[in-house]
Chain A
């Protein structure tokens, strides 16, 4: 077993803002989380909540301009990634922290053989020679379960299926045995039977290599099956952060509750799905209070006045909601809110 308690990545108060003609979009607006060795942290949320921007910020890959890390720290092995020079950052990317993306179809270079796309990272970071890097690339393809890897390594991406391309992406990301793997919707573009294969593969390699994984996804099913802890994001904030079983059994934040209720269930019949009324506030003009307040079934005056903090409860769950503070005056007690 891998030692699980050692933190390897700490994100503190991270803010990523985009300056556009319309004003400043606060895509990521002050988030904190810690990733431990061997842990899989899920970051979930609906489109526009800032989950992908969070992952791109960690590797400092946000398109800049207009994007900019406007504040906070990203501590990795004692270094603050936010303040590193571009050269120092390059030595971390693809080496100590790697990333796989959503679209295996477009995330590989169409005119370069896949073996070379893996080997170039090995030559760069591990200082391997051409032959050694190529051999290692073939070995990686074998590791991710690609049949006849010697042949496949010489092929270009268009000759591979979607599932195989995602395997190549994984091989590429893991070639230099990183300590952190960020998987940004790694299976969203894939069919379910292929998704099952890829998730299994990531889990398997994680236990072999012992890296920490950040799994960015909108699919709560994927979270339930792969993650140890979950951070739910809404409008640029983390609104609930808890061990996976706790979040699915007793979701605390009204948004998390709404999200879980609006999912059609595969194992039971429901006449009607619960929905969350209204829409997400614009990242250009967040309200002063809780960002979910206007859609919340439990909303109180205080919710519109001041934004709640992400506070740790007795059971270790962190939640950003007035309902779980002493200031709460609403008619619904904490107990009832947690159905």
Chain B
């Protein structure tokens, strides 16, 4: 990793909000909203991997989709290389998509079943017009080489491949346009561990090879620990903690992060740990709890937590926590 001073910010998310209206049964009741992402800010340095972790409904995937403008954000700004991409028109946005690629959990759903791998890669290059037509064939072979697929794969269809291989195709397609940032949305979650390891190794290798920046969205904390430089923990649409990987995993400051880390079953029966058992379920994001959103499940919650929303405070070297009592947990 580079020294802090040299780091260049590639993506800056500023007060991003993503609300979805909920259908109500009454004509007269005010519209309710799911505040899937509620005023979050963070940034991503060039060449690093930032992971967003959290449980279902925390807004991690919504954040990724909002950055890609797959859903139009309700508010906030998203700067990519200094430019607010939410201001871009359709044409400019299409151009930008060459720099901004995404890999989804289910590669099968995002690959056209009637296209051969050749057509899929060709189309990706044609849309962005990154490679001249005569050079495309050699580029495709090059791409397959990068992701570890044989040249014969070109004339086959997605259904002829296994889950891991399809994810490789998805990666090749993303690479085809020379992106700067790749958003990996649960990209390895559906894979068996042995295959997952292959894909994780591949992603790391490609990152070094092409100086890629990853925004890695996942619910699997072990995977996140393996791949990330920095980690951001979300809960009910808010950022609760963001820090370097080591700081976050070794000395988490937010009670939610601590509980989350202690909940993961570890494949080592000799390791006996103190488990913080959280009570109850994650509350509904339609009517999130007042104050600190975690207060309903937090073992340390006080009256202040119910009333006041904690700000994201810097508690150590680039270690931000949104908890009134973060000092206590140091």
A and B touch in the complex (CB under 8 A): yes
Chain A residues with CB under 8 Å of chain B are: 46-47, 161-164, 191-197, 199-200, 218-226, 244-245, 248-249, 258-267, 269-276, 279
Cα–Cα distance between A220 and B197 once the two chains are bound (Å): 14
With A264-B223, A273-B201, A275-B201 known to touch, is A225 a contact of B266 (CB < 8 Å)? yes
Check if B194 sits within 8 Å of A193, measured CB to CB: no
| 25 A-B pairs in the complex with CB atoms less than 8 angstroms apart | A191-B55, A191-B56, A192-B260, A193-B55, A193-B263, A196-B262, A196-B278, A218-B193, A221-B222, A221-B264, A248-B269, A249-B270, A258-B194, A262-B194, A263-B267, A264-B197, A264-B200, A264-B226, A265-B222, A266-B221, A266-B264, A269-B226, A275-B194, A275-B201, A276-B194
Cβ-based interface call for B268 (8 A) = yes
Cβ-based interface call for B275 (8 A) = yes
Residue interface mask B191-206, A partner, CB < 8 A = 1: 0111111101100100
Check if B194 sits within 8 Å of A196, measured CB to CB: no
Cα–Cα distance between A223 and B201 once the two chains are bound (Å): 25
Q: How extensive is the interface on chain B, given as a class? A: 35 or more
Cα–Cα distance between A308 and B193 once the two chains are bound (Å): 25
Shortest Cβ distance from A273 into B: residue: B197
Residue interface mask B149-182, A partner, CB < 8 A = 1: 0000000000000100000000000000000000
How many pairs, one residue from A and one from B, have CB atoms within 8 Å of each other in the complex?
120
Cβ-based interface call for B20 (8 A) = no
Kindly provide the distance from the CB of A249 to the nearest chain B CB, expressed in whole angstroms: 7
Check if B225 sits within 8 Å of A269, measured CB to CB: yes
Query: What chain B residues lie within 8 Å of A196 (beta carbons)?
Result: 262-263, 265, 275, 277-278
Query: What chain B residues lie within 8 Å of A269 (beta carbons)?
Result: 225-226, 246
Kindly provide the distance from the CB of B252 to the nearest chain A CB, expressed in whole angstroms: 12
Kindly provide the distance from the CB of B256 to the nearest chain A CB, expressed in whole angstroms: 9
Instruction: Provide the main secondary structure of the chain B interface.
Output: helix
Check if B193 sits within 8 Å of A262, measured CB to CB: yes
Check if A259 sits within 8 Å of B194, measured CB to CB: yes
With A47-B192, A245-B270, A264-B223 known to touch, is A225 a contact of B162 (CB < 8 Å)? no
Query: What chain B residues lie within 8 Å of A261 (beta carbons)?
Result: 197
Cα–Cα distance between A269 and B229 once the two chains are bound (Å): 11
Check if B281 sits within 8 Å of A272, measured CB to CB: no
Check if B263 sits within 8 Å of A264, measured CB to CB: no
Query: What chain A residues lie within 8 Å of B66 (beta carbons)?
Result: none
Cβ-based interface call for B34 (8 A) = no
With A193-B259, A221-B267, A270-B226 known to touch, is A262 a contact of B196 (CB < 8 Å)? yes
With A164-B281, A265-B222, A273-B226 known to touch, is A221 a contact of B194 (CB < 8 Å)? no
Query: What chain A residues lie within 8 Å of B264 (beta carbons)?
Result: 192, 221, 266
Check if A218 sits within 8 Å of B282, measured CB to CB: no
Cα–Cα distance between A259 and B264 once the two chains are bound (Å): 18
Query: What chain A residues lie within 8 Å of B219 (beta carbons)?
Result: 191-192
Please name 5 further chain A to chain B contacts, defined as beta carbons within 8 Å, in addition to the given A248-B268, A264-B197, A264-B227, sorted by A numbering: A162-B281, A218-B192, A225-B269, A264-B222, A272-B204
Query: What chain B residues lie within 8 Å of A226 (beta carbons)?
Result: 265
Kindly provide the distance from the CB of A104 to the nearest chain B CB, expressed in whole angstroms: 12
Cα–Cα distance between A276 and B198 once the two chains are bound (Å): 8
Cβ-based interface call for B104 (8 A) = no
With A200-B277, A265-B222 known to touch, is A46 a contact of B192 (CB < 8 Å)? yes
* Cβ-defined partner of A224 (8 Å) among B201, B221, B268: B268
Kindly provide the distance from the CB of B250 to the nearest chain A CB, expressed in whole angstroms: 9
Query: What chain A residues lie within 8 Å of B162 (beta carbons)?
Result: 279
Shortest Cβ distance from B204 into A: residue: A272
Check if B192 sits within 8 Å of A193, measured CB to CB: no
Cβ-based interface call for B249 (8 A) = yes
Q: Which 7 A-B pairs have the closest CB atoms?
A: A221-B265, A262-B197, A264-B226, A191-B55, A46-B192, A273-B197, A220-B267
Check if A195 sits within 8 Å of B270, measured CB to CB: no
Shortest Cβ distance from B56 into A: residue: A191
Shortest Cβ distance from B261 into A: residue: A266
Query: What chain B residues lie within 8 Å of A262 (beta carbons)?
Result: 193-194, 196-197
Check if A274 sits within 8 Å of B197, measured CB to CB: yes
